[in-house]
A and B are shown apart, each in its own frame.
Chain A
Amino acid sequence: MPRTICHPSTIQDYLNDALSPEDEGAVEQHLTDCPVCRQCMTTAAGSGDDWTTITSALRADELDEGRQIVSDQLLWPLTLLGPTDDPRMLGRIGPFEVSGCVGVGGMGVVFKARDPALDRFVAVKVLSPQLAASESARSRFEREARAAAAVVHDNVIAVHQVSEYQGLPYLVMPYLPGPSLEERLRQQGPLAPVEALRIARQVAAGLKAAHAQGLIHRDIKPANILLSGQTERALLTDFGLARAVDDASITRAGALAGTPQFMAPEQARGETTDERSDLFSLGALLFTMLTGRPPVPEASGMETIHRVGSEQPPRLSVLLEDVPRALEQAVSALHCFAPSQRVASAARAESLLESLLPTAGRRPLQRRHATDCAGRQSSLPANLKQLPVWQRWTLIVLVVCLCVAVWSKTSDPPSGHSAATASTGARRRPHDTPGTDSAVTGVTPVDIDPALTEPDSAADGLAARFGRQSSDTEASASSAPELAGSPATEQRPHDTTVPVSSDESESKAADTIKPNPPALEDPDGVQLDALLQSIDRQLEHLENR
């Protein structure tokens, strides 16, 4: 289709790598003669400030002492390429002329390349040399890539070709400049239910087609979902690659290629996986789209694997306000710990998600206040384990005292049920087992029994309180050991306040995204603060002995 070259949108597309090779050449030629487009290109690339900031950061000054400013050490993916005759290209893989490297991951390198036969850009994914060294990983990669090539569906990225170049298997896919779901979430935060469901439904449809061919994806995560242009089509990529990585035994060495945050529990435990494992990951994906963060926070590979394999996944309503019941049930039905209780097939998942679309909300669901604590809370057991046993117990006793103190100060007495839940949570803490985190917040981990999905507002109110305390305690608990003996101990008074970002843009971003920063605003909070400080002091005292 012919395009107007002299147009701002063409310039944008050029910078976004969204033009065909032919149009790219035309734009470059056109710029030589068109000062308007030249200006347009410059401002589209970055504001005047951007140009100044970046170029001055890259300019050597007297502090650099003649050292190399921009390292040329990151060129290793290019060593995978063969020589090319075209000076505009980086090299070639088989018949494909490589013009750039789109990404480097644990599994391999993705190049942007020109397909000379059809004069179009394609994405060429080359298995990393380390993985390719394992014979079973290689054959798995090739076998599964061929199987994926057989899946023809709107929501599964097409595999044009599977081949090998200098001992490295590669596959050729359409080049899609659109963002991945991961990028989208990072840029925009949580999605509106209607948008999240639309994407999840398409992923389910893609999985249905793949499962029909006996192909299990095993690595459904936001980075593997590509969003295509304005039509908002979601495409599944990277079939079978997860298995190739497993075969290469890299996982057993502890260096995980991918994130296990979206894995099904049975997969994390190394048990047999089936179609339902993909559906669990789909549930985790939906959870992430709605809340803006994965159900399991990022930690080291082994810790995450352990948590995924042993803990009940969190409920939506623990993190979000006013979750429609049907939506919560749907997420729980997918994101369900026991495979036998999960939605049984991708086809059912698709119709379930489809049925929710007409009533789905158009605005992202609001986060609960206590949500901000969840991330820190989760690291509490890990930090506790770092302390010697007697210190740990001292801390625990202090936390229990604190809980009791605040609870007795609460002006509106909570119902018997929720109080019992909360104190059970506090008492369970000494056992220090992962998986009791949610008990501290007063919310019991729930299987997908629909009767239990009704949010208990009294319990949640208390949960908010206790959530705050435990996480604040955790913050001070970890601050004392960390800073002891380091020069930074001097800034203790500064440290006991909520940490302030020194970066203006960061704090600005945080403000816009998080309308309700957790502040100690209630009267109890003042007391809480004092108690926390005394715990802090005692811990410091313990440390110094």
Chain B
Amino acid sequence: MRGLSVFISDIRNCQNKEQERLRVDKELANIRTRFKNEKGLSVYEKKKYVWKMLYIYMLGYDVDFGHMETVALISAAKYAEKQVGYIVTSCLLNENHDFLRLAINTVRNDIIGRNETNQCLALTMVGNIGGKDFSESLAPDVQKLLLSSSCRPVVRKKAALCLLRLFRKNPDVVNVDGWSDRMSQLLDERELGVLTAVMSLLVALVANNPDGYWNCVPKCVRILERLTRSQDIPQEYTYYGIPSPWLQVKTMRALQYFPTIEDPNTRRSLFEVLHRILMGTDVVKNVNKNNAAHAVLFEALALVMHLDAEKEMMSQCVAILGKFIAVREPNIRYLGLENMTRMLLVTDVQESIKRHQAQIITSLKDPDISIRRRALDLLYGMCDVTNAKDIVEELLQYLTTADFGIREELALKAAILAEKFAPDLLWYVDVILQLIDKAGDFISDDIWYRVVQFVTNNDDLQAYAALKARDYMSKPAVHETMVKVGGYLLGEYGHLLARTPGCTPKEIFSIIHDKFSTVSISTKALLLSAYIKLLMHSQPSDPDLQEQIWRVFKRFEGNIDAEVQQRAVEYFALSRKGPAMVDIIAEMPKFPERQSALLKKTEDAEGDAAELSATRLRVQQQSSNAIVVVSQPSSNGSMFAGPLARTTSTPLDMNGELALTVTTMGQPQQTPSQSAAPVTADLLGDLLAPLAIEAPPAVSSPSELVSEQSSGDSSALALLDSTPSLQPIGSIKDWFHTLCFKDSGVLYEDPYIQIGLKAEWRAHQGRVTLFLGNKHVGALGTVRAVILPPAHLRMHLSTVPDTIPPRAQVQCPLEIINLQASRDLAVLEFSYSYGNVPVNVNLRLPIILSKFLQGVPLSPADFVSQWRALTGPPLKLQEVVRGVKPLTILEMSGLFSSIHITVAPGLDPNPNNIVAGTVFTSEARKTLCLVRIETDPSDRTQLRLTVASSDGVVSLELKEFIKEQLLDDSSTQQQMVAGPVSSGLSGPAAALAGLF
């Protein structure tokens, strides 16, 4: 194609980006004009322009026109045009583009037509960018092609993968009952191309429903036997002498989704195969052959782990991995480390892995960050009481040289391990102080709070900790976190060092005060508390020290920061009491006994929480980037693939409106992290807490102090109470909200679990299926799901299993019967644990009023007679709603149809008004509801809403529900004024208004 080549050459010859842009702009302008008078365009030209558009798009320029022309080419009669249309459409558009819907019919015709080439083109496009719409309308046709005996392999393999795509978009398109036998038959396929494609399909199906495809297990094992024995494998399907490594890997992957393999014969054959792979894989010179062979080997290792093989085979695996982590070849070493970490999760091989500790530590210093990460994960996973000291010290040592990419994770992991496995507490204090010293930026407050708690509760730790703190504080440059923890410890326990040289109260004060000018205001406040503690401990005070400290207090009594100011003033006043202040400002008490259980719990949970927050941090970074389409399954084949939740655009652009209703619907959901947040806010309360406990009531303390006391107290409690939690991958609110308008999608997702939801509604009944999908390679335990139904719903949840096996999905049906109209929401209390980290979430279920509505079209006569029959409150309710989101009438109709209220167009003669009808169904009866909205074209932010039905409760609830949907969340004051609107009604509308 000459024109295309010339254009590409032109671009290549551009000297700089600017020239390139000019050339591109010129071309785009040209194409645009040519497309405008399409009549004169030849087939050749059309093709040429569309290819050029793709090229420009690939260069990174926006191509925001010509989509129509491209999609139109799909329906061209000639193959050459059709081909270009299909290919370029697959690149330029994605499943959410509206243009794509226009093509569904053509695509379907190509699929069911007899032209094999067109079938292939259509299957390819649907397989690559088909969305839910395609799923619904094309799945049966695609299935037919896959099963057809008259189709050539080239069509059938495309059909298999196309079906896989459709299944990922909507798992309903493949019915397990009908498909397990068909899949089993398809696995008899001799043609390896088709078989490879079918195997990918099987992996997705089994991952979604491990129990549905048992009959495929023996077939898979037979395929593996055939491949590993090189029986009947055409030359073209061997890769460097290895029978299709891709099919081998896929087949073994499929087998990993079956919980176990019980049939002894099948199991035996499979183990023979696995044994042969484990023993028969050697390192060879040719890189590609070596990679392919090891790809198979690693998959075999994973399968062995999954199958819970005998001890002997397991230790074989560890031995192989041990060999791998020592090799020079980076890829193999990386995979050795990665697979050892996985192995830790599933089996009891800790001891044999420990033998490789030294080797793993070497990898921690590898120049390649990919390897370092794996080594860190593995060290973290294999750490226990026996090796904690070595591992943590190794991590600390590495911390000084580690680059930023890994420091944060390293610091967190070291802190967790130090706390979890500390052989003695002195060591623990050492580790944490070192950590703060070396990586202060990466130390979260939780970590230093922890160390303070330990020191407070252990008398024999206090002098030691104070001494250490003094040493660190004496350094010239100290991280602010160190100033906090050092200041705190020295204030509290500095007096214990009195006999140590260089530790008089005065010296300690000057060590701390040295840093005072460099720290933030909140740290200054903390230091003020430390000063008064110093003063208190040195009673009768050294007048010199007292003078110095008073000067500081005096200087800050006018500080702009209220907290600092208050402390300065109060401490000054208190310190003038002389020895009497000992009664007020006593030493921190131990955390009371009654809290010890809590403390313990926090200890465990917090230990792992930091890990979680490490993960969380990564997740947050990641999810801020757009690629993480939240609902994309992170592991193979988990359901609800695709952007169900996020990116699907509704036919009318209602995203705005959808968003605004969130805040008005029920309580705003607190994410777990938010609930844990207050902890960080002010720990300073801790310092004041003893005031509350120790101060005799007789002492006349300023009233502010009293309130301070209680808040201090509560924050100390909050510190203990806070169960650190896992961050969901995305917004619970958004998911909830999306599900209010859709019947399937994600309800919740975090790094370990995904909860999907699918709902069917029939009149007053509903059936919601919860899909609990374990995304992880370890089992999730103590799974609990409790439904808290509101009064108006009768709900029954079937049993939820206690554990979810690795990468498995569990379905839990929930039956719902609607008794009454209400806007209350049911809540799902969901909890599980991963390792020993408990995770609790409360999720609102999207069972909103509209789920029990069914829109009805109304004839004018029906409407008028009904409307007239219903008069006044409580049956007919009217309200002027202000602060609504400005919507056009069309958008508002769209909003109504999304909540199942059918607008009767033209029934109200005033084009600015809408009348609509719906039927609300409860167990007892159906209620016809009529709705009228009168908008004011001059001010779209207000409208009058009237709802009428034969049941007052229904009218009220429906009115409030609609109001919630209409309100604009940006208007903070949602004023409702009852009464009629006087403006804007004239002519026929006025006449009609009279009627109303």
Asked if chains A and B come from one complex, the reply is no
Contact surface of A with B, Cβ cutoff 8 Å: none
Instruction: List residues of chain B with CB under 8 Å of any chain A CB.
Output: none
